């Protein structure tokens, strides 16, 4: 006889055998006892939680020779045919492969015929959300008013995709995830019946990996039992078969994260990948462990929270390595890495970047430099300020000076700024690079002109013509201990130097002066535009040739053109020349 998979062999045959769905089995049993049998039901819930099994049990309960009864005998002809899938009155339809309107029209034609053997014709439509919109519309009328001998049972894992018009015509039952403890008890019962020894930790690992689905748990047990020897199913064998990382590796990586040992983390990742571990599984188990730490740190060990099969001793020790904010920051960053891995051509690099960034995480602020999660705590700020003040005192003592560390924290960031920010000629606040210097920095000496001439010579020697063409229009106003000031007549040139050529000039200034100077580009105060000269008639041709220029009345120009012309004058001067059109011969 062919081997039958465990999830098929141990499929529940009655409502009493359903695991984790007592609320549904009790409701359906009472409906059968009272005769309040609906014409359409919608079963929704995660995979492997018993939706199709419940539908078959309900069909047997309606058509059992001793029924209708909530406890079908599983012995009579009708029950046996339903279990074997040969009943003429129970139709299982896979909506994923029969999703069109033609299949639904055929179903509507067969609904009108009376049942062959039992009392009811039961239509079980699995994955009903896969039907097309036209198929749903064709099913509406039949689903609302079917013949008295017909019961529809629609099963789906995505109830939100089922139209509201369909849901309103059905009694909806939501199947919940089966708890880890319930899965462990069921697996223990199955292994005892199979007479296969199994470790308690192995049961726990199977239940956790099943993720609330009994079918997945039985499939895992089926796979592990095939390789079990005389010693039975061990936890180590389960880890090998499922490709699990293992607690020891996860604890080791967590310890390295706490101590910020990047080398240990990279070595652990390399060894795990060499052993054939899946990279996504590494992050998944690390997230589960961090969740256990978060919950244990918050409320302690709770059985109904399904912790990652952790030893309480390890949880207690590693909880002391992190604060709650940092644990949540790590979980947040690991989830981002798991999403990035879906699209990354090199998933290993994604893991390494994520874990190394967690090593740089500020323990007090609970965030990485690139991924802020939680604000910095006041206590952490106090500790950092105290360390900085102690270091400052040491440097002052070594230099022979005396620096008195402050005990009071700054009231705000604005208190440390100068009272008056630098303003540009337009009255707007200057950018950070042009912020007003402190009192110690405002002493400007006259050495800037000589330095500026050396800068021009350096640019000429290095043949940096684009930079030279722009900055040679600037005039040095001098320099202080930390800043070098340049004044421009043109706002365009000032902004161009500020944005583009600062990174070229500052290294040259440092090379010439021997200290790091910040380049400050200023704009000369724009003087009021003098009144335009009175109109002058165009000069004679001979006179035009002498001075090669013409005069322009600015008042006659529109405001927009006048502004553009003034900008051109600032750059090129006010010498206007008339362009003569060539005569066509």
The pLDDT of residue 151: 92
Closest CA to 471 of 437, 520, 505: 505
Under the banding of pLDDT at 50, 70 and 90, the label for residue 1 is: low
529 vs 233, more confident? 233
Rounded distance between C-alpha atoms, residue 143 and residue 125, angstroms: 12
CB contact at 8 A, 281 and 245: yes
Under the banding of pLDDT at 50, 70 and 90, the label for residue 279 is: confident
**DSSP-derived secondary structure for 340-397:** HHTT-S-HHHHHHHHHHHHHT-BTTTTB-SSS--SPPPHHHHHHHHHHHHHHHHHHHH
- From 359, 381, 416, the end of a domain falls on 359
Q: Calculate mean pLDDT across residues 112-122.
A: 86
The pLDDT of residue 95: 87
The pLDDT of residue 433: 41
Under the banding of pLDDT at 50, 70 and 90, the label for residue 528 is: low
pLDDT at 567 over 90: no
Indicate whether 398 belongs to any domain.
Answer: no
Under the banding of pLDDT at 50, 70 and 90, the label for residue 521 is: confident
Kindly state whether residues 133 and 256 are assigned to the same domain.
no
- From 500, 523, 546, the end of a domain falls on 523
pLDDT at 483 over 80: yes
Query: pLDDT for 61-110, tens place per residue?
Result: 998 888 788 888 888 888 888 888 888 888 888 888 888 888 888 888 88
The pLDDT of residue 175: 92
Backbone angles phi and psi of 399, in degrees to 5: -85, -5
Please list the residues that pair with 151 across neighbouring strands. 122
pLDDT at 524 over 90: no
Residues whose CB falls within 8 Å of the CB of residue 247, separated by 6 or more in sequence, listed in order: 289, 309, 310, 311, 314
What DSSP element (H or E) covers 567? Answer: helix 559-572
Q: Calculate mean pLDDT across residues 324-338.
A: 89
CA 303 to chain centre: 29
Rounded distance between C-alpha atoms, residue 492 and residue 303, angstroms: 69
Rounded distance between C-alpha atoms, residue 348 and residue 272, angstroms: 11
CATH number, domain at 303? 1.20.272.10
Indicate whether 444 belongs to any domain.
Answer: yes
pLDDT at 429 over 60: no
% of the chain with per-residue pLDDT over 70: 76
pLDDT at 363 over 50: no
**What's the distance, Cα to Cα, between the start and end of the chain in Å?**
107
Rounded distance between C-alpha atoms, residue 39 and residue 15, angstroms: 20
pLDDT at 14 over 70: yes
CB contact at 8 A, 107 and 123: yes
CATH number, domain at 199? 1.10.8.60
Least confident of 146-150, 287-291, 334-338, 578-582: 578-582
pLDDT at 562 over 90: no
Indicate whether 417 belongs to any domain.
Answer: no
CB contact at 8 A, 478 and 433: no
Do the bridges between strand 40-44 and strand 171-174 make them parallel or antiparallel, or are there none, so unpaired?
parallel
Kindly state whether residues 452 and 510 are assigned to the same domain.
yes
Kindly state whether residues 222 and 355 are assigned to the same domain.
no
Mean pLDDT of the chain: 77
CB neighbours (10 Å) of residue 71?
16
The pLDDT of residue 87: 86
Rounded distance between C-alpha atoms, residue 114 and residue 116, angstroms: 6
Kindly state whether residues 234 and 284 are assigned to the same domain.
no
CATH number, domain at 511? 3.30.300.180
pLDDT at 275 over 50: yes
Rounded distance between C-alpha atoms, residue 518 and residue 311, angstroms: 57
Indicate whether 411 belongs to any domain.
Answer: no
Kindly state whether residues 37 and 163 are assigned to the same domain.
yes
Residues whose CB falls within 8 Å of the CB of residue 343, separated by 6 or more in sequence, listed in order: none
80 vs 387, more confident? 80
Rounded distance between C-alpha atoms, residue 585 and residue 378, angstroms: 85
Do you find a cis peptide bond into 227, omega within 30 degrees of 0? no
The pLDDT of residue 442: 43
The conformation of residue 224, written as its DSSP 8-state character, comes to: H
pLDDT at 561 over 80: no
Residues whose CB falls within 8 Å of the CB of residue 486, separated by 6 or more in sequence, listed in order: 452, 471, 474, 475, 476, 477, 497, 519, 520, 521, 522
Indicate whether 295 belongs to any domain.
Answer: yes
Kindly state whether residues 18 and 143 are assigned to the same domain.
yes
CB contact at 8 A, 68 and 61: yes
Kindly state whether residues 286 and 161 are assigned to the same domain.
no
Query: pLDDT for 197-222, tens place per residue?
Result: 888 888 888 888 888 889 988 998 88
Under the banding of pLDDT at 50, 70 and 90, the label for residue 304 is: low
Q: Calculate mean pLDDT across residues 299-305.
A: 64
3-state DSSP call for residue 98?
coil
Kindly state whether residues 147 and 271 are assigned to the same domain.
no
Rounded distance between C-alpha atoms, residue 183 and residue 212, angstroms: 8
Rounded distance between C-alpha atoms, residue 326 and residue 339, angstroms: 20
Residue 528: how many CA atoms within 13 Å on its side-chain side?
2
- What is the count of structural domains for the chain? 5
pLDDT at 543 over 50: no
Indicate whether 147 belongs to any domain.
Answer: yes
CATH number, domain at 144? 3.40.50.300
- Strand order of the β-sheet with 518-523 is 475-479, 483-488, 518-523
- From 359, 379, 404, the end of a domain falls on 359
Residues whose CB falls within 8 Å of the CB of residue 279, separated by 6 or more in sequence, listed in order: 273, 341, 347, 348, 351
Indicate whether 400 belongs to any domain.
Answer: no
Indicate whether 399 belongs to any domain.
Answer: no
Do you find a cis peptide bond into 572, omega within 30 degrees of 0? no
The pLDDT of residue 579: 62
What DSSP element (H or E) covers 298? Answer: helix 279-299
CB contact at 8 A, 38 and 172: no
Kindly state whether residues 25 and 156 are assigned to the same domain.
yes
Kindly state whether residues 188 and 319 are assigned to the same domain.
no
Q: Could you tell me the two tokens for 291?
A: 């969740």
Provide the residue range defining the domain that includes 186: 180-242
Kindly state whether residues 111 and 59 are assigned to the same domain.
yes
Kindly state whether residues 262 and 277 are assigned to the same domain.
yes
Rounded distance between C-alpha atoms, residue 551 and residue 564, angstroms: 17
**DSSP-derived secondary structure for 480-498:** -SSEEEEEES-HHHHHHII
Under the banding of pLDDT at 50, 70 and 90, the label for residue 443 is: low
The pLDDT of residue 323: 85
The pLDDT of residue 291: 87
3-state DSSP call for residue 296?
helix
Residues whose CB falls within 8 Å of the CB of residue 478, separated by 6 or more in sequence, listed in order: 444, 445, 446, 447, 448, 449, 485
Under the banding of pLDDT at 50, 70 and 90, the label for residue 227 is: confident
Which of 296-300, 323-327, 422-426, 550-554 is modeled with the greatest confidence?
323-327
The pLDDT of residue 420: 38
Rounded distance between C-alpha atoms, residue 214 and residue 7, angstroms: 8
Rounded distance between C-alpha atoms, residue 157 and residue 174, angstroms: 10
The alpha carbon torsion through 229, 233, 238, 239 (nearest 10 deg) reads -80
Q: Could you tell me the two tokens for 131?
A: 């039907």
Rounded distance between C-alpha atoms, residue 282 and residue 352, angstroms: 12
Rounded distance between C-alpha atoms, residue 52 and residue 124, angstroms: 8
Least confident of 25-29, 140-144, 182-186, 416-420: 416-420
Rounded distance between C-alpha atoms, residue 516 and residue 331, angstroms: 42
């Amino acid at each position: 006889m062919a081997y039958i998979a465990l999830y098929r062999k141990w499929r529940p045959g009655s409502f009493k055998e359903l695991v984790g769905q007592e609320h549904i089995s009790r409701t359906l049993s009472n409906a059968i006892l009272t005769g309040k049998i609906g014409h359409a039901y919608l079963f929704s819930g995660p995979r492997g939680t018993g939706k199709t099994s419940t539908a078959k049990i309900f069909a047997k309960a309606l058509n059992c020779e001793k029924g209708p009864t909530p406890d079908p005998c599983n012995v009579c002809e009708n029950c046996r045919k339903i279990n074997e899938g040969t009943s003429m009155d129970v139709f299982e339809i896979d909506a994923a492969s029969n999703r069109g309107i033609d299949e639904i029209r055929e179903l509507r034609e067969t609904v009108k015929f009376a049942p062959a053997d039992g009392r009811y014709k039961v239509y079980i439509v699995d994955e009903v959300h896969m039907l097309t919109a036209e198929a749903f519309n064709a099913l509406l009328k039949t689903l609302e008013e079917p013949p008295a001998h017909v019961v529809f049972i629609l099963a789906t894992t995505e109830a939100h995709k089922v139209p509201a018009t369909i849901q309103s015509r059905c009694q909806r039952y939501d199947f919940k995830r089966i708890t880890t403890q319930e899965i462990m008890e069921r697996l223990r019962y199955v292994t005892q019946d199979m007479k296969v020894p199994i470790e308690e930790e192995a049961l726990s690992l199977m239940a956790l990996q099943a993720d609330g689905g009994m079918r997945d748990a039985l499939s895992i047990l089926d796979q592990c039992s095939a390789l079990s020897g005389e010693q039975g199913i061990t936890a180590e064998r389960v880890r090998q078969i499922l490709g699990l990382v293992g607690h020891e590796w996860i604890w080791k990586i967590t310890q390295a994260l706490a101590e910020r040992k990047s080398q240990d983390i990279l070595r652990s990742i390399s060894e795990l990948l060499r052993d054939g571990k899946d990279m996504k599984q590494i992050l998944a188990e690390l997230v589960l462990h961090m969740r256990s730490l978060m919950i244990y740190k918050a409320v302690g060990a709770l059985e109904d929270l399904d912790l990652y099969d952790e030893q309480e001793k390890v949880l207690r020790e590693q909880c002391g390595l992190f604060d709650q904010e940092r644990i949540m920051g790590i979980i947040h960053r690991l989830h981002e890495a798991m999403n990035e891995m879906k699209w990354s051509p090199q998933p290993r690099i994604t893991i390494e970047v994520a874990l190394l960034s967690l090593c740089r995480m500020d323990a007090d602020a609970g965030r990485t430099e690139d991924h802020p999660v939680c604000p910095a705590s006041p206590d952490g700020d106090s500790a950092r300020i105290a360390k900085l003040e102690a270091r400052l005192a040491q440097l002052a003592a070594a230099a022979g000076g005396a620096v008195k560390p402050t005990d009071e924290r700054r009231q705000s960031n604005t208190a440390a700024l100068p009272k008056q920010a630098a303003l540009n000629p337009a009255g707007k606040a200057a950018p950070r690079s042009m912020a007003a210097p402190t009192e110690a920095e405002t002493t400007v000496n006259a050495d800037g002109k000589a330095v500026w001439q050396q800068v021009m010579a350096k640019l000429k020697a290095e043949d940096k013509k684009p930079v030279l063409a722009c900055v040679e229009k600037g005039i040095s106003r001098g320099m202080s201990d930390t800043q070098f000031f340049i004044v421009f007549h043109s706002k365009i040139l000032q902004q161009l130097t500020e944005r583009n050529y600062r990174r070229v000039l500052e290294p040259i200034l440092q090379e010439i002066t021997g200290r790091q100077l910040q380049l400050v580009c200023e704009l000369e105060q724009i003087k009021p535009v003098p009144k335009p000269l009175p109109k002058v008639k165009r000069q004679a041709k001979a006179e035009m040739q002498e001075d090669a220029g013409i005069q322009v009345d600015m008042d006659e120009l529109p405001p927009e053109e006048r502004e553009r012309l003034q900008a051109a004058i600032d750059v090129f001067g006010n010498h206007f020349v008339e362009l003569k059109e060539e005569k066509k011969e």
